[in-house]
Amino acid sequence: MCGVTGWLDWAADLRTRGTTVEAMTETLACRGPDSAGIRLTRHAALGHRRLSVIDLDGGAQPLEADGTVLTYNGELYNYTDLRRELESLGHTFRTRSDTEVVLRSHLQWGAEAPRRFNGIFAYALWDGRTEELLLARDHLGIKPLYWHAHATGVLFGSEPKAVLAHPAFRAELDAEGIAELFALPAAPTAGHGLFRGLREVRPGHLVRIRRSVTRETRYWQPVSRPHTDDPATTRRTVRELLADAVERQLMSDVPLCTLLSGGVDSSAITALAAQARERAGQGKVGSFSVDFPGSTDRAPDDWRTGADAPFVKAAAEHIGTLHTTVVVPDDDLLDARAAVLRARDRPGWGEMDASLHLLFREVRRRSTVALSGEAADEVFGGYPYFHDPAARAADTFPWLHGRTTPAALLRPEVRAVVRPEEYTAEQYRATLAQVPALPGEDGTDRRMRELFHLALTRWLPPLLERVDRISMSVGLEVRVPFCDHRLVEYAWNVPWALKAPGGRPKGLLRDAVRDLLPERVADRPKSGYPSTPAVRYTQVLTERARELLADPGAPVFDLVDRETVRLALKEGRPLPGPRTAPNPVGGLDHLVQVDEWLRAYRVGLR
């Protein structure tokens, strides 16, 4: 995987601005540690950092042909099929890379090219013949791409840090950004880049920029239609689509592994990968999991039903993987906080991000690519809110029903400007208005379609963002077979009664892969990403919060009410955090990290 960045300016000659473009590109070195390149033209400058995965010797970027320049981050899993088709149409290729397939697809089909892609991607393509810059992002938004329109052009980059490296962009937070950070950290608005003036190319969208006009168009979303397959055919189709997605995503010229948590999602991915490697005459698949000292002592809750370790062991032994468990102690979590903040360019999920960073760092020592079970719960309905009648009926994002967000900590005068409750309600209504409705559908199936739309467009994006930023901060490419858009399209129209037969969460998926797994794994209840039971981590964060309270210049209290925090700490009450899963230290983490972010990024308030 890679990092892309660039600068379009109609009023400047960018052939003389290489130093600025190099600085923007260098911020993405962690995404692409293997090589770097820039291409300067009069009005467009493109930068690239490369993580070599396919065609290690021939995939250098930016790539140019027939007056068109491409800087590309991603993997096309159907690139060999597309290459054969393009060759039949008269195209010749200089490399074995999927990058060249993307470029020549655009030369052949123009802006219609992304409709033909199966993969994860975010890229910028400059057509010097028509003087048009095109920004594109994959169907589900697995790979990121941010952009900022300035008076005479556009800045863009895989991460905000690349845009922030340009002297024309300032790190500022306005009322909408504050609302996103405090009211909707678990349901961010598509296209919002948090910083004032920063946007994100939305999943399944293209942004086309010319001198006089900028147009954003959608090239993909699930289409609602009646589901006519019987239960057996539905199970078989899900299995076939998932198996094909896994097999396609095993392509790599570098070491590859899986992330195995012991749940049905990651275990199914690992089992299908093992089968595909066996058919190809390859060796056993390597797998990795994360754990913490004392994790077996943690009490279950609605989001975490028990320790992962016994289920990981059962799955790894049954499938026959070469398994490694990465145990993360307290001190390592604390030490990783600064690296995670730099990776995400924004306050994140605290110790859950830190442990993921440490896991990925260890995985990267032996593999460059990892397959993950991310998104199965959003596609097949595995989260508690899908099955809670009160959450399903709530007139808000179902995972926020009955929850207190960090917006409760805002100063009264800030709340008056931000209007967090109104903002949340507006975003909820706007998202529901975008649901591709099925004529004649009503009752439970209509509401469940709305919930799946909310899950795919508001819940899944921050999970994918988290995985992308943290994995790429150590140069690891994470692939997500459950996000294959063909599987998502099919599951989108499966009625709720078939997705959850007998009321069983993810019953359709469980039955489709049951033969691959031990029974206890196939039937294991949903258990979220583990959080540490560490006492010292909580103690250190509590002390840092007290230090902030004693600091009259702490920037976080330009936003947050100091006395509300002081009283909560005095009474031993947890602060509201950015995640919906129970986490007693999550609110403290968010408070401290917001302060660290405001300082480190010198964020101004507007």
Query: How is domain 2-218 classified at the architecture level of CATH?
Result: 4-Layer Sandwich (3.60)
Residue 55: the pLDDT is 63
Confidence of residue 494 (pLDDT cuts 50, 70, 90): very high
Distance, first Cα to last Cα, the chain: 35
pLDDT (mean) for 327-350:
92
Q: What is the DSSP letter of 196?
A: T
- Of residues 558 and 294, more confidence is placed in 558
Backbone dihedral angles phi then psi of residue 176, each to the nearest 5 degrees: -65, -40
pLDDT (mean) for 366-371:
96
The full set of domain ranges for the chain reads 2-218, 231-380+460-522, 535-605
Residue 419, judged by CB atoms within 10 A of its CB (0-12, 13-18, 19+), counts as middle
Secondary structure (3-state) at 425: helix
Residue 527: the pLDDT is 78
Among 70-74, 305-309, 391-395, 431-435, which is the least confidently predicted range? 305-309
Q: Which residues are catalytic?
A: 2
Residue 494, judged by CB atoms within 10 A of its CB (0-12, 13-18, 19+), counts as buried
Tens-place pLDDT, residues 12-45: 999 999 999 999 999 999 998 888 999 999 999 9
What is the rounded CA–CA span in Å between residue 71 and residue 156? 11
Tens-place pLDDT, residues 186-236: 999 999 999 999 999 999 999 999 998 999 999 999 999 999 999 999 999
Tens-place pLDDT, residues 495-504: 999 999 999 9
Please say whether the structural domain 231-380+460-522 has been given the CATH code 3.40.50.620: yes
Question: Both tokens of residue 283?
Answer: 């060796």
Question: Both tokens of residue 402?
Answer: 């009955």
Q: Which residues pair with 73 in a beta bridge?
A: 122
Tens-place pLDDT, residues 413-424: 999 999 999 999
Q: Which phi-psi region, left, alpha or beta, contains residue 602 (left: φ > 0; alpha: ψ -120 to 50)?
A: left
Mean confidence (pLDDT) of the chain: 94
* pLDDT surpassing 70 at residue 301: no
Residue 295: the pLDDT is 61
Taking alpha carbons only, the member of 303, 239, 328 closest to residue 516 is 239
Which positions ≥6 away from 426 have C-beta within 8 Å? none
Residue 303: the pLDDT is 56
Tens-place pLDDT, residues 511-546: 999 999 999 999 999 877 777 656 888 899 999 999
Which positions ≥6 away from 22 have C-beta within 8 Å? 38, 47
Backbone dihedral angles phi then psi of residue 304, each to the nearest 5 degrees: -130, 110
Tens-place pLDDT, residues 89-115: 999 999 999 999 999 999 999 999 999
Tens-place pLDDT, residues 425-449: 999 999 999 999 999 998 999 999 9
* pTM of the entire predicted model: 0.95
Confidence of residue 294 (pLDDT cuts 50, 70, 90): low
